[in-house]
């Protein structure tokens, strides 16, 4: 019998109120066991707040402005009800639930409707995502209205959360891996490795449900299905990296560009951003270069795309982001902002996964298959002096710093560990999310130019404000940012606009200090935006736990650790 979407919504509601992890994992495991094979992946994705699996290129592309207008139209409720509920909860889904509960006629009508199922919701999401062409906006709105019209208040709450990508139940991907392990009695490490290869924990769960645990022994990378990227931690200097890696390590120039994952099969080449979005149309010359230079039939490689001037020198990151956004008049933009590609890793070659090979061996295989495409400049050394000289060279060339990679390390998709370390000769910037903005004064009175910056709580999913700034963006960037933020606006009071947390910015600062002003107890001193990180999702933003870690390091050096203990 098909599983109702109400059952999934009730599960999420229970998770939202649970603070202990083990009972939450058991609850989800029991739910997964009760599902039909075809329901497993959609359910896992929705519980994690996603309409589709992580590798999918489908997007709903629905703004809060559109969604809120549809909710008002369906319910006919005075929007003050939503604003009051949002002020109390700070949660868009919970506020939407209150609006639906206030609509008595609506609640009576749905008693006579066929209940929504998990698969019907997925099919609705697919129809919304596939809507294109003339009249697409109106058709998309009709599909959303039809879906929400069938929803109870509780179902509406979680549909809205999925639409805007803000689940906030605290049940993250790591816990889902545990739930899948428990549900199907498979070792957690096996589940994690399968997730690395298939790029999505829901896909792993569905495969086990349909074909049994034996199916995991046969899985392999699939060209054109992007996988999560291996991530790096920060190191204070090259000496720390050499010590962490027990001597010799591979130092490479850390380019000020955009990381890409390149898939090739025959003459077909596709390029994926670090968000796993297909950006091939925006970078046709990179695809042509790979097609021409890489002779292997099948390959999955990683590299960095940088914007360059006429002499081949790197130019600022923001120029590169203009290329990634552009899908029309590419030839003109390619002449204005030329780009270059540097490769640094290879994951798959002609039917064989390479991720369990040591890094130095993968690098050698990459060099043998890259043709004329340059690799990131590298030295292998255990000399601090030599590494520091290499760092100075990288900075002089206009790059960000260095990467340090353990020579015998495997490639671990989606894992942030110490096998790869980032070294930058400046105070570490933070990737933060804009959650609200205020109109400026004087010439900026019509622009949202003062931004509230938040870090994500890794435990709860909540975004906690750590400061605000009006510095860093140009007037043209502020005008564009104002347009984007208005599309994400949830409510407005006086001169302040609250928005759904979607836009990531890189933020420099002088210090992190104790502050009773914000819920997290900390604030950035002299914060300024250094660039807009459209290549990152809010889930990739820095966590509040990371902010506290940096704060703690400051006072370890200053001998004032007691201040840390009070936060």
Q: How many CB atoms lie within 10 A of CB 136?
A: 12
Residue 120 to residue 457: CA distance in whole angstroms? 32
503: CB partners within 8 A, 6+ apart: 433, 434, 481, 484, 485, 488, 532, 534
Among 478, 472, 453, smallest CA distance to 530 is for: 472
H or E element in which residue 426 lies? none
Residue 494 to residue 439: CA distance in whole angstroms? 9
Residue 49 to residue 55: CA distance in whole angstroms? 14
Q: What three-state secondary structure class fits 536?
A: coil
Q: What is the DSSP letter of 246?
A: T
238: CB partners within 8 A, 6+ apart: 251, 384, 387, 388, 390, 391, 402, 404, 423
Residue 297 to residue 30: CA distance in whole angstroms? 43
Q: What share of residues in the chain are helix, strand, coil (percent, to 5)?
A: 45, 20, 35
Phi, psi of 131 (to 5 degrees): -70, 125
536 catalytic residue (yes or no): no
Structure tokens, 120? 């019907």
For the chain, how far is it from start to end, CA to CA, in angstroms? 50
Among 293, 285, 291, 282, smallest CA distance to 324 is for: 282
Q: What is the DSSP letter of 525?
A: E
Among 161, 135, 109, smallest CA distance to 5 is for: 161
Q: Which of 54, 209, 254, 264 is catalytic?
A: 254
Burial 19-54 (b: 16+ CB within 10 A, else e): eeeeebbebbbebbeebeeebbbbbbbbbbbbbbbb
Among 408, 428, 423, smallest CA distance to 245 is for: 408
80: CB partners within 8 A, 6+ apart: none
Burial 187-201 (b: 16+ CB within 10 A, else e): eeeebbbbbbbbbbb
Q: Which residues are identified as catalytic?
A: 254
């Amino acid at each position: 019998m098909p599983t109702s979407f109400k059952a999934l919504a009730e599960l999420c509601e229970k998770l939202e109120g649970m603070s202990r992890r083990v009972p939450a994992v058991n609850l989800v495991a029991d739910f997964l066991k009760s599902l039909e094979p075809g329901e497993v992946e959609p359910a896992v994705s929705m519980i994690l707040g996603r309409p589709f699996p992580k590798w999918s290129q489908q997007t709903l592309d629905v703004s809060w402005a559109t969604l809120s207008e549809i909710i008002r139209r369906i319910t006919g409720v005075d929007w003050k009800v939503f604003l009051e509920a949002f002020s109390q909860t700070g949660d868009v889904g919970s506020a939407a639930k209150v609006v639906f509960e206030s609509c008595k006629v609506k609640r009576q009508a749905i008693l006579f409707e066929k209940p929504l199922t998990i698969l019907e919701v997925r099919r609705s999401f697919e129809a919304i995502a596939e809507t294109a062409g003339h009249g697409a906006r109106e058709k998309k709105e009709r599909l959303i209205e039809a879906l929400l019209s069938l929803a109870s208040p509780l179902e509406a709450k979680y549909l809205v959360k999925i639409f805007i990508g803000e689940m906030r139940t605290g049940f993250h991907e790591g816990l889902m891996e545990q739930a899948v392990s428990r549900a199907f009695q498979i070792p957690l490490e096996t589940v994690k490795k399968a997730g690395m290869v298939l790029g999505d924990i829901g896909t792993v769960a569905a495969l086990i449900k349909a074909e049994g645990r034996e199916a995991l022994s046969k899985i392999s990378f699939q060209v054109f299905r992007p996988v999560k990227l291996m991530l790096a931690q920060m190191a204070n200097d090259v000496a720390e990296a050499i010590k962490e890696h027990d001597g010799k390590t591979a130092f490479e120039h850390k380019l000020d560009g955009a990381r890409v994952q390149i898939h090739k099969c025959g003459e077909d080449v596709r390029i994926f951003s670090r968000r796993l979005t297909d950006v091939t149309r925006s970078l046709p010359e990179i695809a042509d270069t790979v097609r021409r230079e890489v002779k292997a039939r099948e390959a999955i490689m990683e590299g960095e795309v940088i914007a360059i001037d006429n002499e081949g020198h790197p130019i600022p990151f923001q120029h590169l982001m203009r290329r990634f956004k552009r899908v029309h008049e590419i030839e003109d933009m390619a002449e204005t902002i030329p780009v270059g590609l540097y490769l640094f890793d290879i994951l798959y070659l002609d039917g064989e996964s390479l991720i369990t090979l040591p890094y130095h061996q993968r690098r050698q295989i990459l060099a043998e298959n890259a043709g004329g495409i340059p690799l990131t400049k590298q030295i292998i050394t255990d000399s601090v002096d030599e590494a520091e000289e290499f760092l100075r060279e990288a900075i002089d060339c206009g790059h960000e710093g260095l990467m340090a990679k353990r020579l015998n390390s495997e490639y671990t998709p989606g894992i942030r560990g110490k096998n790869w370390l980032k070294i930058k000769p400046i105070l570490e910037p933070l990737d933060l999310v804009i959650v609200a903005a205020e109109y400026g004064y004087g010439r900026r009175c019509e622009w949202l130019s003062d931004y509230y910056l938040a870090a994500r709580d890794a435990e709860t999913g909540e975004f906690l404000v750590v400061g605000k700034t009006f510095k860093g963006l140009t007037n043209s960037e502020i005008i564009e940012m104002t347009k984007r933020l208005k599309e994400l606006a949830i409510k407005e009071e006086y001169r302040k606009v609250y928005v759904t947390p979607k836009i990531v910015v890189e933020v420099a600062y002088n210090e992190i200090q104790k502050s009773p002003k914000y819920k997290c107890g900390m604030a950035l001193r002299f914060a300024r935006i250094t660039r807009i990180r459209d290549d990152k999702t809010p889930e990739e933003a820095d966590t509040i736990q990371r902010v506290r870690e940096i704060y703690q390091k400051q006072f370890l050096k200053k001998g004032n650790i007691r201040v840390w203990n009070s936060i």
